[in-house]
Amino acid sequence: MTKALAGAGLIGATAAPALAQDAGASVGKGYAVIGAGIAVLGAGLGIGIIGRAAAESMARQPEIAGKIQTAAIILAVFIEGATLFAVAAGFLAA
């Protein structure tokens, strides 16, 4: 048992430097991916809220459903544009 643990420790000690990062490596790309995920999550929530409010408004006033739908689509496009900008800026900064 002791020899097996010593052998496993020796293998782990020799494998650790092989798995180490380079001296100049950072975790910037990981943070960029996390930031992109948060931006997309926020956009999804925002567009969901717009859709819910638009559906409620169209149910209350069906005669202006076309105007409400147009406004909701324009707002969704603005949210998507801001999200795309945030994701691109995050990846370029990393």
Residue 2 lies in a domain: no
Closest Cα partner for 90 from 30, 27, 36? 36
Number of domains in the chain: 1
Residue 39 lies in a domain: yes
Residue 20 lies in a domain: no
4 pLDDT higher than 70:
no
Residue 75 lies in a domain: yes
DSSP-based three-state secondary structure for 35: helix
Residue 82, domain extent: 27-93
Residue 84 lies in a domain: yes
The CATH number given to whatever domain includes residue 89 is 1.20.20.10
Closest Cα partner for 54 from 44, 69, 75, 70? 69
Residue 65 lies in a domain: yes
Residue 17 lies in a domain: no
Residue 34 lies in a domain: yes
Pairwise pLDDT comparison (14 vs 31), residue with the higher score: 31
Instruction: Give residue-wise pLDDT tens across range 27-71.
Output: 778 888 898 999 999 999 999 999 999 999 999 999 999 999 999
